[in-house]
Structure 1
Amino acid sequence: MTKLEQLLSQYAAYHLNHKNIVSHFAGIPLIVFSIMCLTARAGVMLSGFELTLALVIMAITIIYYLSLDKIFGLIMLAIFALAYPLAYSIAQWPLAAWLLASIGFFVVGWIIQFIGHFYEKKKPAFMDDVIGLAIGPLFVLAEVVFMLGFRKEIEQRMLEEARKQRALMDAKIMNIS
Protein backbone atom coordinates (compact mmCIF):
# COMPACT_ATOMS: atom_id res chain seq x y z
CA MET A 1 0.00 0.00 0.00
CA THR A 2 1.42 3.37 -1.02
CA LYS A 3 1.68 6.38 1.32
CA LEU A 4 -1.18 7.99 -0.64
CA GLU A 5 -3.37 4.93 -0.11
CA GLN A 6 -2.49 4.83 3.60
CA LEU A 7 -3.41 8.48 4.08
CA LEU A 8 -6.61 8.24 2.04
CA SER A 9 -7.57 5.08 3.95
CA GLN A 10 -7.04 6.76 7.31
CA TYR A 11 -9.20 9.67 6.17
CA ALA A 12 -11.82 7.44 4.54
CA ALA A 13 -12.25 5.48 7.78
CA TYR A 14 -14.05 8.59 9.10
CA HIS A 15 -15.92 9.07 5.80
CA LEU A 16 -17.78 5.93 4.77
CA ASN A 17 -21.29 7.43 4.80
CA HIS A 18 -22.36 8.73 1.38
CA LYS A 19 -24.09 11.82 2.84
CA ASN A 20 -20.92 12.72 4.69
CA ILE A 21 -18.80 12.32 1.58
CA VAL A 22 -21.21 14.46 -0.45
CA SER A 23 -21.13 17.16 2.24
CA HIS A 24 -17.37 17.26 1.86
CA PHE A 25 -17.74 18.07 -1.85
CA ALA A 26 -19.07 21.47 -0.78
CA GLY A 27 -17.54 21.96 2.67
CA ILE A 28 -13.89 21.29 1.92
CA PRO A 29 -13.70 23.44 -1.24
CA LEU A 30 -15.35 26.30 0.67
CA ILE A 31 -12.84 25.98 3.51
CA VAL A 32 -9.85 25.77 1.17
CA PHE A 33 -11.12 28.71 -0.87
CA SER A 34 -11.68 30.76 2.29
CA ILE A 35 -8.09 30.12 3.35
CA MET A 36 -6.92 31.22 -0.10
CA CYS A 37 -8.98 34.41 0.25
CA LEU A 38 -7.72 35.13 3.75
CA THR A 39 -4.06 34.55 2.89
CA ALA A 40 -4.06 36.20 -0.55
CA ARG A 41 -4.17 39.61 1.11
CA ALA A 42 -0.78 39.18 2.80
CA GLY A 43 2.07 39.52 0.35
CA VAL A 44 5.27 41.21 -0.72
CA MET A 45 6.23 42.62 -4.09
CA LEU A 46 9.17 40.89 -5.74
CA SER A 47 10.31 42.34 -9.08
CA GLY A 48 6.82 43.52 -9.92
CA PHE A 49 5.16 40.25 -8.83
CA GLU A 50 3.15 39.97 -5.64
CA LEU A 51 4.11 36.86 -3.72
CA THR A 52 1.22 36.22 -1.37
CA LEU A 53 1.01 33.94 1.61
CA ALA A 54 -1.69 32.05 -0.33
CA LEU A 55 0.79 31.29 -3.13
CA VAL A 56 3.36 30.06 -0.63
CA ILE A 57 0.84 27.80 1.12
CA MET A 58 -0.45 26.50 -2.22
CA ALA A 59 3.10 25.78 -3.43
CA ILE A 60 3.94 23.83 -0.26
CA THR A 61 0.65 21.94 -0.50
CA ILE A 62 1.16 21.07 -4.16
CA ILE A 63 4.72 19.87 -3.51
CA TYR A 64 3.34 17.61 -0.77
CA TYR A 65 0.54 16.30 -3.01
CA LEU A 66 2.99 15.70 -5.87
CA SER A 67 5.20 13.71 -3.48
CA LEU A 68 2.20 11.48 -2.75
CA ASP A 69 0.87 11.14 -6.31
CA LYS A 70 1.83 12.93 -9.52
CA ILE A 71 -1.61 12.72 -11.15
CA PHE A 72 -3.57 13.97 -8.14
CA GLY A 73 -0.91 16.61 -7.49
CA LEU A 74 -1.15 17.95 -11.05
CA ILE A 75 -4.95 18.00 -10.97
CA MET A 76 -4.87 19.89 -7.67
CA LEU A 77 -2.35 22.32 -9.15
CA ALA A 78 -4.81 23.04 -11.97
CA ILE A 79 -7.67 23.51 -9.48
CA PHE A 80 -5.60 25.89 -7.35
CA ALA A 81 -4.50 27.80 -10.45
CA LEU A 82 -8.14 28.28 -11.45
CA ALA A 83 -9.31 29.26 -7.94
CA TYR A 84 -6.46 31.59 -6.98
CA PRO A 85 -7.35 34.54 -9.27
CA LEU A 86 -10.84 34.70 -7.76
CA ALA A 87 -9.46 34.41 -4.22
CA TYR A 88 -6.92 37.14 -5.01
CA SER A 89 -9.63 39.43 -6.37
CA ILE A 90 -11.72 38.93 -3.21
CA ALA A 91 -8.61 39.74 -1.15
CA GLN A 92 -8.54 43.15 -2.87
CA TRP A 93 -12.03 44.05 -1.68
CA PRO A 94 -12.43 46.62 1.12
CA LEU A 95 -11.43 45.19 4.51
CA ALA A 96 -14.94 44.54 5.87
CA ALA A 97 -16.23 42.92 2.65
CA TRP A 98 -13.09 40.76 2.31
CA LEU A 99 -13.30 39.55 5.91
CA LEU A 100 -17.05 38.96 5.76
CA ALA A 101 -16.79 36.94 2.54
CA SER A 102 -13.69 34.98 3.57
CA ILE A 103 -14.86 34.16 7.08
CA GLY A 104 -18.34 33.47 5.72
CA PHE A 105 -16.97 30.85 3.30
CA PHE A 106 -14.98 29.33 6.16
CA VAL A 107 -17.91 29.12 8.59
CA VAL A 108 -20.36 27.79 6.00
CA GLY A 109 -17.79 25.20 4.91
CA TRP A 110 -17.35 23.95 8.48
CA ILE A 111 -21.10 23.89 9.12
CA ILE A 112 -21.52 21.68 6.05
CA GLN A 113 -18.67 19.47 7.28
CA PHE A 114 -20.22 18.99 10.70
CA ILE A 115 -23.63 18.23 9.18
CA GLY A 116 -21.94 15.47 7.18
CA HIS A 117 -20.28 14.09 10.29
CA PHE A 118 -23.67 14.07 12.04
CA TYR A 119 -24.78 11.52 9.43
CA GLU A 120 -21.49 9.64 9.73
CA LYS A 121 -21.74 9.51 13.53
CA LYS A 122 -17.97 10.07 13.67
CA LYS A 123 -15.86 13.06 14.53
CA PRO A 124 -13.77 14.64 11.75
CA ALA A 125 -10.51 12.82 10.99
CA PHE A 126 -8.31 15.80 11.91
CA MET A 127 -9.42 15.50 15.55
CA ASP A 128 -7.35 12.32 15.80
CA ASP A 129 -4.62 13.28 13.32
CA VAL A 130 -3.97 16.84 12.16
CA ILE A 131 -2.72 15.58 8.78
CA GLY A 132 -6.40 15.07 7.98
CA LEU A 133 -6.61 18.81 7.33
CA ALA A 134 -4.16 18.43 4.44
CA ILE A 135 -5.60 15.13 3.21
CA GLY A 136 -9.23 16.33 3.14
CA PRO A 137 -8.91 18.22 -0.17
CA LEU A 138 -7.01 15.31 -1.70
CA PHE A 139 -9.72 12.91 -0.50
CA VAL A 140 -12.43 15.00 -2.18
CA LEU A 141 -10.42 15.09 -5.41
CA ALA A 142 -9.85 11.33 -5.22
CA GLU A 143 -13.57 10.70 -4.67
CA VAL A 144 -14.43 12.76 -7.76
CA VAL A 145 -11.82 10.89 -9.81
CA PHE A 146 -13.20 7.57 -8.54
CA MET A 147 -16.78 8.63 -9.37
CA LEU A 148 -15.64 9.40 -12.91
CA GLY A 149 -14.42 5.81 -13.18
CA PHE A 150 -10.67 6.43 -12.93
CA ARG A 151 -8.05 4.98 -10.57
CA LYS A 152 -10.47 2.35 -9.31
CA GLU A 153 -7.62 0.14 -8.06
CA ILE A 154 -6.65 2.86 -5.57
CA GLU A 155 -10.27 3.26 -4.51
CA GLN A 156 -10.63 -0.47 -3.94
CA ARG A 157 -7.50 -0.72 -1.76
CA MET A 158 -8.41 2.50 0.08
CA LEU A 159 -11.94 1.32 0.90
CA GLU A 160 -10.82 -2.13 1.97
CA GLU A 161 -8.28 -0.66 4.38
CA ALA A 162 -10.68 2.09 5.55
CA ARG A 163 -13.32 -0.48 6.45
CA LYS A 164 -10.75 -2.42 8.49
CA GLN A 165 -9.67 0.74 10.31
CA ARG A 166 -13.30 1.73 10.92
CA ALA A 167 -14.04 -1.70 12.39
CA LEU A 168 -11.10 -1.26 14.78
CA MET A 169 -12.31 2.23 15.76
CA ASP A 170 -15.82 0.92 16.38
CA ALA A 171 -14.47 -2.03 18.42
CA LYS A 172 -12.50 0.38 20.64
CA ILE A 173 -15.65 2.41 21.26
CA MET A 174 -17.58 -0.76 22.17
CA ASN A 175 -14.80 -1.78 24.60
CA ILE A 176 -14.85 1.63 26.26
CA SER A 177 -18.64 1.58 26.73
Structure 2
Amino acid sequence: MSEGLVRHLAQYAAYHRDRRNVATHMVGIPLIVLGVEVLLSRPQFAILGVQLSPVDFAIVAVCCFYFTLDRRLACGMAVLLAAGAVIGGKIAEQEAALWLGWGLGLFVVGWLFQFLGHVWEGRKPAFLDDLRGLIIGPLFVLAEAVFHFGRRLELRRKIEERLAAE
Protein backbone atom coordinates (compact mmCIF):
# COMPACT_ATOMS: atom_id res chain seq x y z
CA MET A 1 0.00 0.00 0.00
CA SER A 2 1.32 3.39 -0.94
CA GLU A 3 1.76 6.41 1.27
CA GLY A 4 -0.38 8.26 -1.28
CA LEU A 5 -3.28 5.88 -0.66
CA VAL A 6 -3.09 6.39 3.10
CA ARG A 7 -2.77 10.17 2.66
CA HIS A 8 -5.72 10.47 0.28
CA LEU A 9 -8.02 8.18 2.27
CA ALA A 10 -7.08 9.82 5.59
CA GLN A 11 -7.69 13.28 4.16
CA TYR A 12 -11.10 12.15 2.90
CA ALA A 13 -11.90 10.26 6.13
CA ALA A 14 -11.25 13.42 8.17
CA TYR A 15 -14.47 14.82 6.67
CA HIS A 16 -16.37 11.60 7.37
CA ARG A 17 -16.09 10.65 11.06
CA ASP A 18 -19.82 10.37 11.82
CA ARG A 19 -21.04 6.84 11.04
CA ARG A 20 -24.33 8.23 9.70
CA ASN A 21 -22.39 10.33 7.21
CA VAL A 22 -20.37 7.30 6.13
CA ALA A 23 -23.62 5.33 5.76
CA THR A 24 -25.17 8.00 3.53
CA HIS A 25 -21.99 7.99 1.44
CA MET A 26 -22.25 4.22 1.00
CA VAL A 27 -25.53 4.90 -0.82
CA GLY A 28 -24.98 8.37 -2.25
CA ILE A 29 -21.59 7.92 -3.90
CA PRO A 30 -22.56 4.79 -5.86
CA LEU A 31 -25.71 6.59 -7.04
CA ILE A 32 -23.67 9.62 -8.15
CA VAL A 33 -21.09 7.45 -9.92
CA LEU A 34 -23.79 5.45 -11.69
CA GLY A 35 -25.57 8.67 -12.67
CA VAL A 36 -22.35 10.03 -14.18
CA GLU A 37 -21.76 6.73 -15.97
CA VAL A 38 -25.27 6.85 -17.42
CA LEU A 39 -24.78 10.42 -18.62
CA LEU A 40 -21.34 9.66 -20.10
CA SER A 41 -22.67 6.61 -21.95
CA ARG A 42 -23.74 8.86 -24.83
CA PRO A 43 -22.72 9.42 -27.52
CA GLN A 44 -21.64 5.97 -28.59
CA PHE A 45 -19.17 5.61 -31.43
CA ALA A 46 -16.92 2.96 -32.94
CA ILE A 47 -13.13 3.02 -33.05
CA LEU A 48 -11.56 0.15 -34.98
CA GLY A 49 -14.83 -1.73 -34.72
CA VAL A 50 -15.06 -1.35 -30.93
CA GLN A 51 -18.14 0.43 -29.59
CA LEU A 52 -17.08 3.16 -27.13
CA SER A 53 -18.49 6.18 -25.32
CA PRO A 54 -17.02 8.90 -23.10
CA VAL A 55 -17.59 6.74 -20.01
CA ASP A 56 -14.98 4.27 -21.25
CA PHE A 57 -12.28 6.94 -21.38
CA ALA A 58 -13.30 8.28 -17.96
CA ILE A 59 -13.05 4.81 -16.42
CA VAL A 60 -9.59 4.23 -17.90
CA ALA A 61 -8.39 7.61 -16.63
CA VAL A 62 -9.70 7.22 -13.09
CA CYS A 63 -8.52 3.60 -12.84
CA CYS A 64 -5.01 4.65 -13.93
CA PHE A 65 -5.00 7.05 -10.97
CA TYR A 66 -6.33 4.36 -8.61
CA PHE A 67 -3.59 1.97 -9.80
CA THR A 68 -0.94 4.49 -8.72
CA LEU A 69 -2.39 4.23 -5.21
CA ASP A 70 -3.20 0.54 -4.77
CA ARG A 71 -3.51 -2.32 -7.25
CA ARG A 72 -6.04 -4.40 -5.33
CA LEU A 73 -8.46 -1.54 -4.66
CA ALA A 74 -7.96 -0.33 -8.24
CA CYS A 75 -8.96 -3.75 -9.56
CA GLY A 76 -12.08 -3.67 -7.39
CA MET A 77 -12.93 -0.19 -8.65
CA ALA A 78 -12.34 -1.28 -12.25
CA VAL A 79 -14.85 -4.14 -11.84
CA LEU A 80 -17.43 -1.90 -10.18
CA LEU A 81 -17.00 0.89 -12.72
CA ALA A 82 -17.21 -1.58 -15.61
CA ALA A 83 -20.46 -2.97 -14.20
CA GLY A 84 -21.80 0.59 -13.93
CA ALA A 85 -20.76 1.26 -17.51
CA VAL A 86 -22.72 -1.77 -18.69
CA ILE A 87 -25.80 -0.53 -16.82
CA GLY A 88 -25.21 3.01 -18.10
CA GLY A 89 -24.87 1.72 -21.64
CA LYS A 90 -28.18 -0.13 -21.44
CA ILE A 91 -29.92 2.99 -20.15
CA ALA A 92 -28.22 5.15 -22.81
CA GLU A 93 -29.75 2.94 -25.50
CA GLN A 94 -33.21 4.14 -24.45
CA GLU A 95 -34.91 7.31 -25.67
CA ALA A 96 -33.23 10.56 -24.66
CA ALA A 97 -35.77 11.53 -21.99
CA LEU A 98 -35.39 8.20 -20.22
CA TRP A 99 -31.58 8.33 -20.46
CA LEU A 100 -31.43 11.88 -19.10
CA GLY A 101 -34.07 11.18 -16.45
CA TRP A 102 -32.18 8.22 -15.06
CA GLY A 103 -28.77 9.87 -15.28
CA LEU A 104 -29.82 13.15 -13.69
CA GLY A 105 -32.14 11.43 -11.21
CA LEU A 106 -29.43 9.12 -9.90
CA PHE A 107 -26.99 12.03 -9.73
CA VAL A 108 -29.35 14.32 -7.80
CA VAL A 109 -30.60 11.66 -5.38
CA GLY A 110 -27.00 10.64 -4.70
CA TRP A 111 -26.08 14.24 -3.84
CA LEU A 112 -29.11 14.51 -1.55
CA PHE A 113 -27.76 11.56 0.42
CA GLN A 114 -24.32 13.22 0.50
CA PHE A 115 -25.60 16.53 1.81
CA LEU A 116 -27.81 14.85 4.42
CA GLY A 117 -24.74 13.03 5.71
CA HIS A 118 -22.77 16.24 5.90
CA VAL A 119 -25.60 17.90 7.85
CA TRP A 120 -25.20 15.12 10.43
CA GLU A 121 -21.42 15.43 10.27
CA GLY A 122 -21.59 19.20 10.72
CA ARG A 123 -18.81 19.61 8.20
CA LYS A 124 -18.68 20.56 4.53
CA PRO A 125 -17.91 17.94 1.87
CA ALA A 126 -14.22 17.18 1.29
CA PHE A 127 -14.30 18.18 -2.38
CA LEU A 128 -15.02 21.80 -1.42
CA ASP A 129 -11.45 21.99 -0.08
CA ASP A 130 -9.85 19.63 -2.59
CA LEU A 131 -11.46 18.58 -5.87
CA ARG A 132 -9.61 15.25 -5.70
CA GLY A 133 -12.26 14.31 -3.15
CA LEU A 134 -14.59 13.70 -6.08
CA ILE A 135 -12.28 10.91 -7.28
CA ILE A 136 -11.29 9.64 -3.82
CA GLY A 137 -14.91 9.34 -2.65
CA PRO A 138 -15.69 6.16 -4.60
CA LEU A 139 -12.38 4.63 -3.46
CA PHE A 140 -13.26 5.54 0.14
CA VAL A 141 -16.61 3.74 -0.20
CA LEU A 142 -14.90 0.62 -1.53
CA ALA A 143 -12.29 0.76 1.23
CA GLU A 144 -15.01 1.11 3.88
CA ALA A 145 -16.82 -1.91 2.44
CA VAL A 146 -13.57 -3.90 2.44
CA PHE A 147 -12.92 -2.89 6.07
CA HIS A 148 -16.47 -3.91 7.01
CA PHE A 149 -15.71 -7.45 5.82
CA GLY A 150 -12.52 -7.63 7.89
CA ARG A 151 -10.07 -7.06 5.05
CA ARG A 152 -7.22 -4.58 4.65
CA LEU A 153 -7.30 -3.77 8.37
CA GLU A 154 -3.66 -2.67 8.26
CA LEU A 155 -4.71 0.04 5.82
CA ARG A 156 -7.52 1.09 8.16
CA ARG A 157 -5.06 1.22 11.06
CA LYS A 158 -2.67 3.45 9.11
CA ILE A 159 -5.49 5.78 8.14
CA GLU A 160 -6.62 6.06 11.76
CA GLU A 161 -3.03 6.65 12.93
CA ARG A 162 -2.63 9.44 10.40
CA LEU A 163 -5.90 11.02 11.50
CA ALA A 164 -4.87 10.84 15.17
CA ALA A 165 -1.55 12.51 14.38
CA GLU A 166 -3.20 15.48 12.64
Normalised to the residue count of structure 1, the TM-score between the two structures is 0.90
Matched residue, 2:51: 50
Runs of 4+ in structure 1 deviating by more than 6 angstroms, as ranges, are none
The match for 1:171 is: none
**Aligned position for 2:159:** 158
The question of whether the paired residues in 2 share the 8 Å contact of 1:13 and 1:163 is answered with: no
Look at both structures and tell me which one has the larger radius of gyration over its CA atoms: 1
- Residue 8 of structure 1: aligned partner: 9
> Which residue of the partner structure matches residue 73 of structure 1?
74
Secondary structure (helix, strand or coil) at the match of 2:45 reads strand
* Residue aligning to 1:140: 141
Paired residue total: 165
Say which SS state the counterpart of residue 51 (structure 2) adopts: strand
Tell me the alpha carbon deviations over residues 7-38 of structure 1, each in whole angstroms, 9 at most, x when there is no partner.
00000000010000010011000000011000
Structure 1: distance between partners of 2:75 and 2:156: 18
Contact conserved, 1:41 with 1:91, CA < 8 A, in 2? yes
Structure 2 unaligned blocks of 5 or more:
none
Distance 2:155 2:80 in 1: 21
1:78 Cα deviation from its structure 2 partner = 1.2
1:18 aligns with 2:51: no
Kindly state the Cα deviation for residue 121 of structure 1 after the two structures are TM-superposed: 0.4
1:121 and 1:136 map into 2 onto residues whose CA distance is 18
Pairing 1:117-136 to 2, within 5 Å after superposition: 117-136=118-137
Partner residue of 1:82?
A: 83
- Matches of 1:93 and 1:148, distance apart in 2: 37
Give the conservation status (yes or no) of the 8 Å contact 1:5–1:154.
yes
**Cα RMSD for the two superposed structures:** 1.1
Deviation at 1:163, TM superposition (A): 4.1
Taking structure 2 as the reference length, the TM-score comes to: 0.96
* % identity of equivalent residues: 39
- Residues 37 and 88, structure 1, Cα contact 8 Å, conserved in 2: yes
- The CA deviation at 1:146 is 0.6
